[in-house]
């Protein structure tokens, strides 16, 4: 193979420079292309096939020409050794190799976002998907504040994790269970990356501790419910109170009561003239539940769900957005006198802090679900039945309510030490939590 350089005088520009071309002759073929160098004809040494000293940067320019010759010769020898016939196209690659696109590895946050897309594709409930979005947002904020924006999955080490936990506790002021929720979702994502995608992590999952702290659940007693029913309210607050009580009588979550429609309401009996029940698929867990409507629950439903509303597809109850509902409930329960002090335990600076907070400040829509569970157990509902009504997949979730029913413990001690157990004084109505037999 022979390689020569030549000036293309036919392509002279206004400055008087011409391009330098390279030609390779091999196996009866010729390949020619520009070296991307230009010079004045007087600056080129035709005999030595190189730039003269008068050419600016002649040394590096000549070294570049020599390197080009070596690449062509090496390519030709490589093809011959591999018993491949050299061609113009193959020799061209020696001068202009095809660009190799190296895909940049996605960052940790990008992979978390991809994981959320996977969950959406698998049909996870909206609220569950939203929790993972919150976890991803917290992680992204932490990485931005600590200037780790480009952190890769393998770069999330135990040391980085410790910094993240400290950020959540000290920087964000989250409670122990708030941190638990975010870390639980993070661990699920990391396990998905390792087990389903075969990616390498920067820490061992078994060393990523995620602990839940059992806390006393806020609920209303029978006396609290009676006071809530009796309190006089403005027309603005009455609907919020009624929706809350309806949830206290049925155990519905906010997301489920807000979506109630006529299709959830069913009549028992052959002629459709029996008791009414609610049948629905829970938004959070996708569990199918059937809930008997007690007299008190039915009265609230009849107050708002008129026959016209029941057949025109409208929602059965006037449920506001969650935040206004919770804001109204704090005001309503305060007016009803639910202000007894409740102990709240938190952690600050590694120390356990106990404070007394008025009950009404802790009431939210979810308090109704806790109230239903506790009051149902007080009225003798079996835990297994309560589990089905609340849609719990595990009996352990329902047993948490049994642990907070102090009155049951008091009755057992009273029966053991002072004679027959007396009925609980804090009851509203025996029919409040009656449940249809499954």
Domain of residue 388, CATH code: 1.10.443.10
CA 233, 234, 239, 244 dihedral sign is negative
d(CA 391, CA 251): 10
* Structural domain includes residue 423: no
Provide CB contacts within 8 A for 145, sequence distance 6+.
167, 171
* Structural domain includes residue 310: yes
Q: Specify whether the CB–CB gap between 119 and 132 falls below 8 A.
A: yes
- Co-location of 14 and 86 in the same domain: yes
- Co-location of 263 and 171 in the same domain: no
For residue 227, give the nearest of 60, 339, 71, 348 by alpha carbon.
339
Q: What is the pLDDT of residue 271?
A: 60
How large is the average pLDDT for residues 117-134?
81
Query: The tokens 């389903």 sit on which residue?
Result: 196
Counted domains in the chain: 3
Range in 65-79, 111-125, 193-207, 420-434 the model is least confident about:
420-434
- Co-location of 388 and 291 in the same domain: yes
- Co-location of 272 and 321 in the same domain: yes
* Structural domain includes residue 378: yes
Q: What is the pLDDT of residues 137-163, one digit of tens each?
A: 999 999 999 988 889 999 999 999 999
**What is 260-318 written as a DSSP string?**
--GGGEEE-STTS-S-EEEEEE-TTT--EEEEE--HHHHHHHHHH--HHHHHTT--SS-
Buried b (16+ CB within 10 A) or exposed e, 91-110: bbebbeeeeeeeeeeebbbe
- Co-location of 43 and 112 in the same domain: no
- Co-location of 63 and 135 in the same domain: no
Q: What is the pLDDT of residue 232?
A: 94
* Structural domain includes residue 438: no
Q: Specify whether the CB–CB gap between 68 and 22 falls below 8 A.
A: yes
Q: What is the pLDDT of residues 185-219, one digit of tens each?
A: 999 999 999 999 999 999 988 878 777 666 667 88
* Structural domain includes residue 314: yes
- Confidence band of 410 (pLDDT split at 50, 70, 90): confident
* Structural domain includes residue 272: yes
Residue 109 dihedral angles phi and psi, to the nearest 5°: -65, -40
Q: What is the pLDDT of residue 434?
A: 43
d(CA 262, CA 314): 8
* Structural domain includes residue 258: yes
Domain stops at, among 207, 239, 263: 207
Q: What is the pLDDT of residue 42?
A: 94
Look at residue 324 and tell me whether its pLDDT is greater than 70.
Answer: yes
Residue 103 dihedral angles phi and psi, to the nearest 5°: -70, 125
Q: What angle do CA 435, 297, 264 make, to 5 degrees?
A: 75
**Domain around 138:** 108-207
Look at residue 430 and tell me whether its pLDDT is greater than 50.
Answer: no
- Co-location of 298 and 374 in the same domain: yes
How large is the average pLDDT for residues 284-304?
89
- Co-location of 351 and 274 in the same domain: yes
- Co-location of 256 and 376 in the same domain: yes
Look at residue 432 and tell me whether its pLDDT is greater than 50.
Answer: no
Bridge partner list, 346:
353
- Co-location of 303 and 328 in the same domain: yes
Look at residue 290 and tell me whether its pLDDT is greater than 70.
Answer: yes
- Co-location of 406 and 270 in the same domain: yes
Q: Does 379 or 228 have the greater pLDDT score? A: 228
Q: What is the pLDDT of residue 433?
A: 45
Range in 153-157, 244-248, 332-336, 339-343 the model is least confident about:
339-343
**CATH of residue 199:** 1.10.150
How large is the average pLDDT for residues 261-290?
82
- Co-location of 202 and 115 in the same domain: yes
Q: What is the pLDDT of residue 377?
A: 85
How large is the average pLDDT for residues 400-411?
67
Range in 162-166, 310-314, 343-347 the model is least confident about:
310-314
Look at residue 66 and tell me whether its pLDDT is greater than 80.
Answer: yes
Mean pLDDT for the chain?
84
Domain stops at, among 177, 207, 237: 207
pLDDT > 70: percent of the chain: 85
Distances (CA, A) of 313 to 254, 301, 321: 19, 15, 19
Domain stops at, among 49, 70, 95: 95
How large is the average pLDDT for residues 304-322?
73
* Structural domain includes residue 187: yes
């Amino acid at each position: 193979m022979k390689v020569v350089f030549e000036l293309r005088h036919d392509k002279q520009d206004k400055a008087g420079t011409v391009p330098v071309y390279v030609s390779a002759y091999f196996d009866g073929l010729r390949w020619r292309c520009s070296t991307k160098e230009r010079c004045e004809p007087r600056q080129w040494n035709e005999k030595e096939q190189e730039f003269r000293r008068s050419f600016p940067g002649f040394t590096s320019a000549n070294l570049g020409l020599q390197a080009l010759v070596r690449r062509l010769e090496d390519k030709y020898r490589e093809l011959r050794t591999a018993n491949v016939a050299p061609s113009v196209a193959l020799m061209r690659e020696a001068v202009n190799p095809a660009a190799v696109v190296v895909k940049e590895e996605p960052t940790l946050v990008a992979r978390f976002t991809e994981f959320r897309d996977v969950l959406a594709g698998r049909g996870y409930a909206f609220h569950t998907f939203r929790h993972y979005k919150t976890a991803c947002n917290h992680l992204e904020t932490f990485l931005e504040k600590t200037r780790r924006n480009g952190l890769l999955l393998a770069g999330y080490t135990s040391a980085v994790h410790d910094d993240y936990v400290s950020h959540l506790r000290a920087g964000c002021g989250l409670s122990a269970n708030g941190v638990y929720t975010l870390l639980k979702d993070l661990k699920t994502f990391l396990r998905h990356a390792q087990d389903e995608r075969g990616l390498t992590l920067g820490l061992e999952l078994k060393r990523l501790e995620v602990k839940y702290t059992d806390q006393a659940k806020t609920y209303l007693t029978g006396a609290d419910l009676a006071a809530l029913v009796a309190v006089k309210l403005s027309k603005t607050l009455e609907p919020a109170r009624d929706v809350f009580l309806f949830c206290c009588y049925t155990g519905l979550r906010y997301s489920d009561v807000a979506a109630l429609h006529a299709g959830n309401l069913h009549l028992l009996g052959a002629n459709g003239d029996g008791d009414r029940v609610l049948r629905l698929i829970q938004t959070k867990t996708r569990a199918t539940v059937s809930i008997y409507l007690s007299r008190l629950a039915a009265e609230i439903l009849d107050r708002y769900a008129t026959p016209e509303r029941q057949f025109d597809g409208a929602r059965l109850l006037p449920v506001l957005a969650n935040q206004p509902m919770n804001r109204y409930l704090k005001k309503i329960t305060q007016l009803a006198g639910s202000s007894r002090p409740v102990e709240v335990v938190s952690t600050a600076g590694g120390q356990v802090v106990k404070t007394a907070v008025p009950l009404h400040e802790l009431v939210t829509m979810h308090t109704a679900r806790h109230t239903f569970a506790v009051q149902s157990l007080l009225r003798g509902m079996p835990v297994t039945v309560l589990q089905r009504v609340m849609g719990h997949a595990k009996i352990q979730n329902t047993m948490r309510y049994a642990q907070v029913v102090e009155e049951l413990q008091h009755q057992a001690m009273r029966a053991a030490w002072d004679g027959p157990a007396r009925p609980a004084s804090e009851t509203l109505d025996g029919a409040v939590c009656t449940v249809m037999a499954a």
